[in-house]
Structure 1
Amino acid sequence: MIYNISSDENPMIKHIKQLARRKYRLEYGEYMVEGVRIIRDGLENNSSIKSIVFSERLYNTSGGEGLLQDLLEKNIKIYQVPESIFLKLSDTQNPQGIIGIFSCKAYDLDAILNCEKSLFLILDRIQDPGNLGTIIRSADAAGFDAVLLTKGCVDLYNLKTIRSTMGSIFHFPIIHVGKTKDVIQHLKAETIKIVSTSLETNKYYDEVDYKGRTAFVIGNEGHGVLKEVLDLSDELVKIPMKGKAESLNAAIAASIMMYEAVRQRRNQKI
């Protein structure tokens, strides 16, 4: 059933506006997603969709009407609003006319650690939403077990982050773990090798064995991995820089590291 909303003073509209702020996303355990493709991804991955808000524009968007019909069949609460109200809620330059409210999903780190050949990515204070989303997408594609977000990372439910994951956010384990130092000590106690990126080493990333249980640490875009984390690491590695560029984008560096592990394990039965 579709409910009509005509006023931006409606409680649902106020609620969606609140979800634009991290404070309220944490308070309600919900986040906002915008666009036909990514909401379709959420639906197909059985994510918990709390409600949908759409405008007339959706009917003129490719795949929009079909998505709306599929959502109606799932008995999800759906609200239609005037275009003027929808534009106040939208975060994109070219809105497609649909916004979804999803429940945040929680994963149990200790349960995931049970995998014999675990591969993890620890993100140490990553700040750029696009980097975070791209790293999550790459980790999903590379077959990693989880991405661990430490204290100080950009908000996972930032709309730019969500878009950059290209749907991975709906099915790939992403876990908030607190301080980087604490999670590393926890993983080391589980006999997981900690490999951090650092310019202060002579060892290259492809000179280390990643066939066993391994966690890569990717540091903050401007400052790299914390010294206390480097001191706890089992291996420090770097990616060779042959040109004049001083550094790589964090998402590119993470992808290079992850796919070296994939290369080494290619002929193994994991």
Structure 2
Amino acid sequence: MITSSQNPRIQQVRKLIAQKKERDESGCYVLEGVRLIEEAMKKKEHCRLLLYTDPLSPRAEALVRSFVDQGVDTEEIAAQLMKTISDTESPQGVLAVMEMTKPVIPDKLDFIIIVDAIRDPGNLGTMIRTAAAAAADILILTPGCADPYAPKVLRSAMGTHFMIPMVQMDWGEIAAKMKTIPDLQVLASIMDGGKSCWDYDLCKPTALIIGSEANGISRTAQDISDGKIFIPMPGNIESLNAAMAAGILIFEVVRQRIKKD
């Protein structure tokens, strides 16, 4: 059992939780909690290390046993130590160091979500979850976005990281990729102006660019777009939360395509 906070494994986990640089350099990230780890294993994600502490729920015990049976490096740590390294208020007693996997980009891209400098971890995680629920083909993260493997993003996404390909691209790469997709319309979401989301034909191959509530869409995003799209709001408010706006636009695409079918 690990009891010391100076243990090299504990120190590595602390760095992975706290530092994007450590995650990028090691190619690893940390998942906490039974549900997130279960979702990762369903998708055959590779676990380098599982740390656990007693007492565990029956579900967590079963998870630990399955890791032991698979030959995964598994180690018990002191309960108080788990509390000090956990990024959650109520640790579930299991924590996994996972390897990042290279996303497999589908050959055919018909429904693309581009998130433009979304810095809030909760918003980004919710957008990942929404894009996965809508069966979008890919989620593209631009420079300035929160780290998709930061703990708060992982928790907000609720295990959907493993259900949709995610790639990080700069705007030059995005523009070049968009040009290779036949008949694609690239639509930048804005507060007003352009056309209503109800007036666009979203059954066509579509890329939606979603910006932050505070800053909106960047100039670069507007430059590569073919048109601007907005959500009609009869109420007297200036804007919607970015994740909520993304959900409305994403599921307007879904609605139109289901209706057409």
CA contact (8 A) 2:191 2:239 kept: no
Count of matched residue positions in the alignment of Structure 1 and Structure 2:
259
After superposition, the Cα gap between the structure-2 partners of 1:108 and 1:65, relative to the gap in structure 1 and judged at 3 Å, is: closer
Tell me how far 1:5 sits from its aligned partner.
1.9
What are the residue-to-residue correspondences of 1:186-265 with 2, within 5 Å?
Answer: 186-191=177-182, 192-265=184-257
Q: TM-score, normalised by structure 2?
A: 0.94
Indicate the residue corresponding to 1:18 in structure 2. Answer: 15
Asked if 1 retains the 8 angstrom alpha-carbon contact of 2:52 and 2:94, the reply is yes
Partner of 1:63: 59
Q: CA deviation at 1:185?
A: 4.0
Amino acid at match of 1:69: R
SS at match of 1:41: helix
Among 137, 140, 156, the alignment partner of 2:132 is 140
CA distance in 1, matches of 2:149, 2:26: 12
Q: Which amino acid aligns with 2:247?
A: S
Aligned-partner SS, 1:19: helix
Residue of structure 1 in register with 2:44 after alignment: 46
1:105–1:52: structure 2 CA closer, same or farther, 3 Å change rule?
Answer: same
Following superposition, the deviation at residue 62 of structure 1 comes to 5.1
Amino acid at match of 1:195: L
> Which residue number corresponds to residue 72 of structure 1?
68
Whether the aligned pair in 2 keeps the contact of 1:188 and 1:194 (CA below 8 Å) is no
Secondary structure class of the residue paired with 2:45: coil
Q: Return the TM-score normalized by structure 1.
A: 0.91
What stretches of structure 2 of length at least 5 have no aligned partner? Answer: none
For 2:196 and 2:259, how far apart are their aligned partners in 1?
22
Question: Secondary structure of 1:206's match?
Answer: coil
CA distance in 2, matches of 1:80, 1:146: 37
Give the match's secondary structure for 1:16.
Answer: helix
Q: Residues 244, 200 of structure 1: CA spacing in aligned structure 2 closer, same or farther, 3 A cutoff?
A: closer
Tell whether the 8 Å contact from 2:116 to 2:221 is kept in structure 1 after alignment: no
Q: Select the residue among 31, 34, 39 that pairs with 1:33.
A: 31
Equivalent-residue separation in structure 1 for 2:123 and 2:159 (angstroms): 15
Q: Percent identity?
A: 32
Counterpart residue type for residue 70 of structure 2: K
Deviations 1:9-29, CA, capped at 9 Å, x for gaps: 222111111102111000000
One-letter amino acid of the structure 2 residue matched with residue 70 of structure 1? S
3-state SS, counterpart of residue 215 of structure 1: strand
User: Is the contact made by 1:210 and 1:264 (CA closer than 8 Å) also made in structure 2?
Assistant: yes
1:76-103 Cα shifts (integer Å, max 9, x gaps): 1101011121112101111111111111
SS of alignment partner, residue 65 of structure 1: helix
Q: Residues of 2 paired with 1:241 and 1:185: CA distance? A: 34
Q: For residues 220 and 5 of structure 2, what CA distance do their matches in structure 1 show? A: 49
Residue from 78, 98, 120 that aligns with 1:102: 98
Structure 1: which amino acid aligns with 2:11? Answer: K
Structure 1: segments with no counterpart, 5+ residues = none
In the TM superposition, residue 178 of structure 1 has moved relative to its aligned partner by 1.9
Q: Secondary structure at the match of 1:209?
A: coil
Q: Distance in 2 between matches of 1:62 and 1:205?
A: 47
Deviation per CA, 1:185-223, whole angstroms, max 9, x where unpaired? 421342321011113414101111111211000012311
Q: Which amino acid aligns with 1:12?
A: R
Q: After TM superposition, which residue ranges in structure 1, 4 or more long, deviate above 4 angstroms?
A: none
